[in-house]
Structure 1
Amino acid sequence: MKLSKQIKPISYLKAHAAEIVRNLSGQGEPLVITQNGEAKVVLQGIESYEQTQETMALLKILALGSRQLEDGNVQPAGDVIERLRGRSKNR
């Protein structure tokens, strides 16, 4: 993804808001908005945003799992399965 082609000043956003919304919903690339020559915000379509959020959630789960492995906070899968089966029989 080349953000260099997706950078626009805030004046462009003000003048072309409807067009930007149409374009963002059809493409996966975000749009960087600048103010006084500095990048200030990123706009992206809802599908792209949802995908980003799902990816972040998965990365957090992976990081948590890695941390648990490092801390030795793990149990053999067979033990966990037996415990779960025992719970389901008690219901």
Structure 2
Amino acid sequence: MKYSRQIKPISYLKAHAADVVRDLSKRHEPMVITQNGEARLVVQDVESYEQTQETLALLKILALGNQQIEAGRVVNVKRAFQRVRRNRTSD
């Protein structure tokens, strides 16, 4: 994905909003909007945004898991299943 083709000034966004929405929905690539020659924001379709958020959530879970492993906060799988079974029968 080449972001260089998806860089537009804010005036383009103002004048072609409907075209931008259609293009972003079709391509699923973000568009960088500039103001006074500097990148100011990124615009993307909702589906791509949701996928990005889900990916970030999974990465956070993985990072937390790695931190727990490094801190030694791990449980043997057999012991973990015993706890789950015990909690299910006590409900």
> TM-score, length-normalised on structure 1?
0.97
Deviations 1:34-81 (A, max 9, x none): 000000000000010000000000000000000001100111111010
Separation in structure 2 between the aligned mates of residue 76 and residue 28 of structure 1, nearest angstrom: 42
Paired residues in the alignment total 91
Q: How far is 1:4 from its partner? A: 0.4
Moved over 4 A (4+): none
SS of residue in 2 equivalent to 1:65: helix
Structure-1 separation of matches of 2:2 and 2:38:
17
CA deviation string 1:1-31 (max 9, x = no partner): 1100000000100100011011111121100
Residue 55 (structure 2) pairs with residue 55 (structure 1): yes
Q: Is the 1:6–1:30 contact (alpha carbons within 8 Å) kept by the matching residues of 2?
A: yes
Q: Give the alignment's Cα RMSD to 1 decimal.
A: 0.7
Could you list the runs of 5+ residues in structure 2 that have no partner in the other structure?
none
Unaligned runs of 5+ in 1: none
State the TM-score, normalized to the length of structure 2: 0.97
Measure the CA separation in 1 of the matches of 2:2 and 2:8: 13
* Aligned counterpart, 1:65: 65
